[in-house]
Copies of this chain bind each other. A is one copy, B any other.
């Protein structure tokens, strides 16, 4: 199966602390790296996890709180010092450019690569990225300031040709594409060889939703329905649901209810408040509602399956 891994660089909230970096993760899809959020120290974490800077061409920023974007200037600057020439795409709420542009002009006048800023409005769904095998859509969330989640979804691929069977029935190479796309093959004697005998089914389409930071937000359930993996805001336990409400974050139970309503495959909890020394309390709270729940952790690699 093609690679589709989530790598956690930071999963704490608000300020870095001795146990957690602030928000950042890298999605590795078939060797292409997509960074989601970029808190302070993200480039340090990438180094520690020995990730190839050269394979990172897209950085997605969910919203403009510092714990999600204070590492951006540093990583761009380092790319420049390390001799990068390939363009770097930054997908973020449009307002970011009003400060990032002057910062780049001030600190990074000598970059030999282009920072391509692609702003979006976090309040509506946009397809911000698309290639042959993947789409990335924004997910409107409910936070203190406009904030987007991201839905990364593989595109359906054609079935794989069973080359041995194709050769056995004498399918000419120029007809392969049509067979893979769903066609049957008619032999010279009129016998029809069905598509299913000539191909092996492609793997299922996989998807990942990153929904952080957000208050209780059932409005997104339809959009993320059936994703294989959901990363959800879990800043608090239910004991602190008043704080969750006040700061537009979620409790573990709320994250689990969203996971349950959206029929996701697995729930990963993140964006932990520093008040929980042992985050098992959050996992237990969510697990009682949605059993297939794990805790994010710096250094964790989770394949999307």
Name A's B-contacting residues (CB within 8 A): 14-18, 21, 40-41, 43-44, 47-48, 64-66, 70-71, 73-74, 77-78, 81-82, 98-99, 102-103, 106-108
Shortest Cβ distance from A65 into B: residue: B107
Q: Return A158 CB to nearest CB of chain B, in Å.
A: 42
Q: Is the CB of B43 within 8 A of A16?
A: yes
In Å, the complex CA distance between A15 and B78 comes to 6
On whether A66 and B70 interact (CB within 8 A), knowing A16-B44, A17-B47, the answer reads no
Contacts of A64 in B (CB 8 A): 106-107
Measured between beta carbons, the chain B residues less than 8 angstroms from A66 are 73-74, 77, 107-108
Question: B residues within 8 A CB of A44?
Answer: 16, 21, 40-41, 44
Q: How far is the CB of A266 from chain B (nearest CB, A)?
A: 29
A99 contacts across to B, CB distance below 8 A: 102-103, 106-107
Residues of B within 8 A of A81 (CB): 14-15
- Contact, CB under 8 Å: B82 / A15: yes
Closest residue of chain B to A19 (Cβ to Cβ) is B47
Q: Quick one: closest B residue to A66, CB to CB?
A: B77
CB-nearest residue of chain B to A105: B99
Cross-chain contact A74 with B107 (CB below 8 angstroms): no
Tell me the bound Cα distance from A82 to B71 in angstroms. 20
A23 CB → nearest B CB, Å: 13
- Establish whether residues A40 and B74, one from each chain, have CB atoms under 8 Å apart when the complex forms: yes
| Minimum CB–CB distance for A11 against chain B, Å | 14
The CA of A107 and the CA of B78, in the complex, are separated in Å by 22
- List 5 tightest A-B contacts by C-beta distance, closest first: A15-B78, A40-B74, A99-B106, A41-B41, A66-B77
